[in-house]
Amino acid sequence: ASHQRALEQFTELGHRHGQGSALQQLGAIHTLTGNYLAAVANFHQALKLFHGIGLQLSQGDTLIELASVQQLTGDYQAAAATQQQALELFGDLGDRYGEAHVICERGVVQRLTGDYQAAVASQHQASELFRELGDQQDLAWALDELGVAQRLAGDYQASAASHRRALELFRESSVQTGQADALINLGELLSQISGREQAREHYTQGLAIARDLGAPLAEARALEGIGQSDIHDGNAAEGASKLRQALAIFKRLGVPDAHRVEETLRGLGL
């Protein structure tokens, strides 16, 4: 509501930089709350305004956020193209911070498309850049993503270390969205290496934070994890209920995760 008010006032003033910034922030909020269509529209409008007044750095930042939404909705080819555009722009500007962000996001697309070793390499590169730049918060995001890629590549010990360090940094900087993601990612890892009970504890903590924040994607991921734990413990009905709640959210968001949950429910004959 505050950003919408700001957008209206900047529009009345004819202040295009302010309009672009407000649109970019609205897009970020829509991304967090799962309104991806609105986010894409906001980012495209912001890009047009920033391009019109020659604000290349703001264009690069907006391209990163647009690619993130494209990735979330499964349009990996578009996300990779948008990331490449941003990387070239930041390279021309000599902006190492922007380059680190793009490399981190590129690693996410690499992971989602099954190139786990490339994803690990990208997240290592992004982590080192953020560490050199003294950016602890973004270092935490890169480490958390690194942990996911390491788990998928089969390096569980390294994955646990990356997630735990990320969670520590998120807590130090009071980044609740990051804490929720790191807890859920740890839950996914622990469900594979040390039993479902520890995993359930992490999922439950992540779920509480996600609901407090109104972050539906994290909420659905946590519900899916808890549901899987219930099923593993022999509580099929309770687990299926959690999975259906997760599925409803995934479908509303229009993300590919819905297919995975549908497959699980079909496998249970539910």
pLDDT at 142: 98
In this prediction the pTM is: 0.86
176-223 pLDDT, tens per residue? 999 999 999 999 999 998 767 889 999 999 999 999 999 999 999 999
**Rounded Cα distance, 120 and 158, in Å:** 11
Instruction: Decide if pLDDT at 270 tops 70.
Output: no
Q: If you count them, how many residues does the chain have?
A: 270
Q: Helix crossing, 196-213 with 176-193: angle to 10°?
A: 160
Residue 78, pLDDT above cutoff 70 = yes
| Per-residue pLDDT tens digits for 111-134 | 999 999 999 999 999 999 999 999
What's the CA angle centered on 185, arms 184 and 186, to 5 degrees?
90
In angstroms, the CA 98 to CA 48 distance is: 19
> Nearest Cα to 141, choosing from 109, 111, 100?
100
Of 199, 193, 146, 192, the closest CA to residue 169 belongs to: 146
Tally Cβ neighbours within 10 Å of residue 12.
Answer: 9
Residue 130: CB atoms within 10 Å = 24
The owner of tokens 């079909």 is 266
